[in-house]
Amino acid sequence: MKITGATRVLAVIGDPVSHSLSPIMHNGWIADHGLDAVYVALPLRSDDAENEIRALSQFGLAGLNITVPHKQSAARAADRSEGPVANVLRWEEDGSVSGFNTDGPGFLDALDEAAPDWRGRVRRVLMVGAGGAAVAIAEALSAHVDTIYFANRTQARADAAAAGLRVGRVLRWDDLERGFGAADLIIQATTLSMAGQESPAWPFALTKPGVICADIVYRPLETEFLRAARARGLVAMDGLGMLIHQGARAFELWFGVKPDVAKARARLIEALG
């Protein structure tokens, strides 16, 4: 593609961000639709991310994706935001910045794809983790389920996440076996599945038949969590689903067109190699 002074620039920021597959995904969609735009990854290591993000307005960016640890700072940096956490920013024609969170809706889109009947059979959810992505997913799920249990190694974070939801409850980390045994949907939303991390011995032997298991990690694509779920014969959803669908919603917010999620998955699987 030819890049000129009129080319719209979009980016993903975070720390770290070099591992991100978002440039491959979004630049593929940009090419699909013949748009004059480019998407890059920008590492942001800062003790004052809110002001750093606000300063990016001077560079004429069209939009941003935000990953850890800057999602709360991004929401504060925006002139208006859907909530206290934002993973998407959009610069408006008047120069103001709007914040959105597509993580939760993107997870539901991925769940619809992986287990189309989930709304009819998921009542109890076990959320392993209580970070920004876990909270966004739980908020999106809360209108469709009876109870969401948060289990987190740091108890205070689980308490805070559960307190923010009408259906939120807390499960002690050392009581995971009971949580696995009762859940209809188990979501692994920590960094424990990432390459180089020591994954715990997940108690899948106690799960009910037909439980849906989702991991939001996509490096590696086949995590120990998902491998154990599949060995038990359970429905397993990898982290690419959420990545692609939250990205598709961001792309539509920026460009007003719906991108092809199937093409994105093929490209990303090839990139993961």
Kindly state the DSSP code that residue 82 receives in the 8-state scheme: S
For residues 71 and 24, state if they share a domain: yes
CA distance 199 to 201: 7
Residue pair 179/207 in contact by the 8 Å Cβ criterion: no
The distance of Cα 164 from the centroid of its chain, to the nearest Å, equals 19
Q: Considering the domain boundaries, does residue 3 fall inside one? A: no
Q: Provide CB contacts within 8 A for 161, sequence distance 6+.
A: 127, 130, 134, 135, 138, 150, 152, 168
Where do the H-state alpha helices sit in the chain?
Answer: 22-32, 49-55, 71-77, 103-114, 132-141, 155-163, 176-182, 224-231, 239-255, 261-272
Q: Which of 130, 141, 138, 107 is nearest to 215 (CA)?
A: 107
pLDDT of residue 236: 97
Does residue 180 sit within a domain?
Answer: yes
Same domain, 60 and 119: no
List beta partners, residue 10: 39, 63
Catalytic site residue from 71, 208, 258, 263? 71
**Which pLDDT does position 126 carry in this prediction?**
98
Look at residue 205 and tell me whether its pLDDT is greater than 90: yes
d(CA 147, CA 93) in angstroms, rounded, equals: 42
Confidence (pTM): 0.94
Mean pLDDT of the 234-239 span: 97
DSSP β-bridge partners for residue 186? 126, 213
Which structural domain, as residue segments, surrounds residue 32?
8-101+243-272
- Amino acid identity of 30? I
Number of domains in the chain: 2
Distance CA 111, CA 242 (A): 8
Q: What is the CATH number of the domain that holds 265?
A: 3.40.50.10860
Query: Do 207 and 122 lie in a common domain?
Result: yes
Do 255 and 175 belong together in one domain?
no
| Residues 227, 121 within the same domain | yes
108 and 71 housed in the same domain: no
Q: Residue ranges of the alpha helices (H) in 103-231? A: 103-114, 132-141, 155-163, 176-182, 224-231
Place of tokens 């997913």: 137
Per-residue pLDDT band for 2 (boundaries 50, 70, 90) equals confident
71 is annotated as an active-site residue: yes
User: What value does the mean pLDDT of the chain take?
Assistant: 95
